[in-house]
Structure 1
Amino acid sequence: MNQPITQCASNLTGPDPSRASRAGGLNTRAAPFDRRSFQPEEVTDIEVGAKVDLFDRRLRANVAAFASKTKGAQRVIVAPINNNPSQYLQNAGNVNSKGLELEITALPWQGMKVTGGAAYLDSSYEAGTFVENRGTVLAPLLVDRSNEPVPQAPKWALNVGATQDWQLGFGVASIHVDYSWIDKKVIFYSTPTPGSSAAVVNDVAIANRLATLDSRGLLNGRISLALKNGVEVSLWARNLTKKEYFTYAFDVYNALGLTTVDQGDPRTFGAGVKYSF
């Protein structure tokens, strides 16, 4: 028999359009002749959402849908200039993004709190707006990069966690576990110049692969005891499954023949003592 809904409260928000901008400027490092300066970045977004409480507020759900348009998106570019590696900002066309976010909090029984969340993001360049001149003013060589994936825009992100508290005569004991997962993420990406040799096309493909981080899932845990006198002692562990992963990539493959990556923390244990007054 299904449990009846004893209480339902909801709160609708939006649509709530907002705008923001990022100033333009000059590149102080070496850059192509037509990218020694960059224009402002302008963002317009709109969001609509709802917050719902069910079962005497033992279940809360927050859901939101959003869409945004970025005009003149500013992107960091790593590329060789006169056979020397350089890093500069350029406007990378217009980016359209839309997505959904869901957050859930549940209190299924005494002392137990379960949380979960999911986010979906779909970002893409507006066709024909990200065009790069790899030639000169007198002999332009235009390369349309609008089909590239948008950097730093993973499609999915998920998380779930649970905390169990026990009320004791001298304090509160707790056990917490959480797991988070994030989809693969592009850090840098490039399109080969039309007419490039097979070797150059292959090098660009290798660089793109190295600068794309694989999806990863991390499991963490914590045990604590909070005494009534304000002292709390805890033991914690992060990345319990010893997942090997990377957090960032610096792509200079086409300039120097290598890509460097920042490695995430291995399995880590620790303990803590806190005093509240």
Structure 2
Amino acid sequence: MTTDTTNLLKMRKSFLEALNDPQSDTGLLKDMLKELKAAYPGIVVAYGAEDEQDAIGTTPSSWNEQYFSRQKKLAERNFSQERLEHLMQVRELFRQQGRKGFVPGARKAAVDPAPALDNGYSPSTNLRKFVDEGDVPTIRMALTVELEDSRRDARTMRAALAWAKSRVPGLCEPYAEKAFARAVERDRQQWTEDYYGTQAVYLDTNFSEERFLHLVDVREHLRQQGAAKPAAPAAPTRPAAPARAPASAPRPAAQPAVAAARPAQPPHRSPPPPARPGMSPVMIAALLIGGALAVVVILMLAFRK
């Protein structure tokens, strides 16, 4: 099995897991499927059913939880547009009916509710998952993406790197300066939103502990500067890629049309950090929702490098 095939299987599995996550909005799932198809045309296959039992049912009265589980299992080997759209249709009906396991509840915390480690740090569910799997590029991407979540403060991000580094040999590279990883700037007067974006790109090229911790410091500096002055209201416009949203104002990410149905973001004491270059509003929204949809985004970012 080739690396590309393995990556496609991982993204398919994560997307199907997102169908089981009550926090995943149906409209956002549809948008994420479009993103996946655009980035990886081979991820979707032609619809097929070996027999009548495998076929899509057209009578809503016959849809139940067992039917949903069976169709989801079939989608593992027949990841087709028709079957996925049907699963989302069944899922949405169950949400409207208020069925247990399909209705979204309170937004989960940014970190795992599992017991904290000796230093008080508790890894996020997604970071723990990727560390357990041991794929270094994906772990690096998961750590970098966690910088985008303003619910994680500087102390948490430093602890996250230390925790992952202690469990994954070779996670961090030696600090290096080269064409696509220029030197870090020590002068805080130069720490702007654009500088943060540039250094985030350099981190992709040279994932060193020094660069990651420097980004944490720059991020905290921008957050503190943003908190020191009133935040302007966000305009609901689609940000141009790869530009980053100003750190001195709330993120203006355009949401899918159904975004109003999602739970509201908890208030932040300071503005969120800028978004990664090349991340669409759909990907940003998925990261804010978290859970399995965030895993899909992390895999997309890691595999397209």
TM-score class, shorter-chain normalisation, is under 0.3
Report 1 or 2 for greater relative contact order, CA contacts < 8 Å, sequence distance ≥ 6.
2
Structure that is richer in helix per residue = 2
Structure that is richer in strand per residue = 1
Report the structure number with the largest CA radius of gyration: 1
User: Could you tell me the TM-score, scaled by structure 2's length?
Assistant: 0.17
User: Could you tell me the TM-score, scaled by structure 1's length?
Assistant: 0.19
